[in-house]
Structure 1
Amino acid sequence: MTSVTPTFVYDGDCSFCTTCAEFIERRIPTRARIVPWQFADLDELGLTTEECEEAVQWVSDSARGSGPDAIALLLRDAGRFWQVAGGFIEFGPVRLAAWPAYRWVADHRHLLPGGTAACSLPQAQRDALFGKSS
């Protein structure tokens, strides 16, 4: 199996997601590539379009995760303070609450700062309205 550079995959067509990814790139010292799924080699990463539309993804040689699990893995990769935050998200009761919270944010991202109406649409509808990505 080929070695995979740790990669955090997000929805590049969503302004809210892009704003969050830019925050990660500026503020969180991870060694991961931060890449929109529309520009990622999903086959190489072992991901599907459906998985990427559903939630952010983390792929590395040692771990895979989606949604809040992906965020926790990203934070654990960033060292020191961020490892504590990642471990907190992975803690049983917090992890149990993290998924509904993540799902709520994902379902309402078009209403959040930096979000646009396009953020609320499934990829097939975005493609129909704005043209196919990548």
Structure 2
Amino acid sequence: MTSADPVLVFDGDCAFCSSCVRFAERYLRQTLASAGWTAVPFQFADLAALGVTREWAEREVLWVTPTGQVYGGARAVAKLLLRSGNVWAYLGGVLSLAPVRPVAAAVYRLVAKYRHRMPGGTAACALPRRAA
């Protein structure tokens, strides 16, 4: 990966996920002029160059740093918030605290599981079923 900014990889087929990214692009980027990051749907991303698999990107939002470190789910959201600065960075910091991380991860998994039922979500947002 050669970008100087982190990349947020999300499910572009999910209306709920796309709405969340549009919110982030509109409100989180305004808080800090240097808060550069790029959002890209996994369907159009060079996942191999980012060092992630399609299965991983289908399962959760990913935050890929310029050095190739990858954070998924609630940790990715926390990294995005930290990068955004101002009040958002405080929220990202709270989500990164050891006692809060498991709770944030559980809430993230719950939202991800039912994202097709969330506002803006559609049946296309449902996570693929895992093989038994």
Into which bin does the TM-score normalised by the smaller protein fall? 0.7 to 0.9
Task: Give the RMSD, CA atoms, in angstroms.
Answer: 1.5
Q: By percentage of residues, which structure has more helix?
A: 1
The AA in structure 1 aligned to 2:51 is G
Given that 2:8 and 2:64 are in contact with CA atoms closer than 8 Å, whether structure 1 keeps it comes out as yes
Q: C-alpha separation between the residues in 1 aligned to 2:127 and 2:94?
A: 31
Does 1:86 find its partner at 2:86?
no
Extract unaligned runs of 5+ from structure 2.
30-34
- The correspondence for 1:96, drawn from 93, 96, 102, is 102
Partner of 1:41: 46
The AA in structure 1 aligned to 2:59 is E
Partner of 1:27: 27
Secondary structure of 2:119 counterpart: coil
Partner of 1:7: 7
User: 1:14-34 deviations in whole A, cap 9, x for unaligned?
Assistant: 010011011011110141101
User: 1:49-86 deviations in whole A, cap 9, x for unaligned?
Assistant: 01101100000135420000001111111122221111
Extract unaligned runs of 5+ from structure 1.
124-134
Given that 2:112 and 2:127 are in contact with CA atoms closer than 8 Å, whether structure 1 keeps it comes out as no
Query: Normalization by structure 2: what TM-score?
Result: 0.86
Q: C-alpha separation between the residues in 2 aligned to 1:120 and 1:51?
A: 15
Percentage of identical aligned residues = 45
Given that 2:113 and 2:127 are in contact with CA atoms closer than 8 Å, whether structure 1 keeps it comes out as no
Return structure 1 stretches of 4+ with deviation > 2 angstroms: 2-5, 61-64
The AA in structure 1 aligned to 2:90 is V
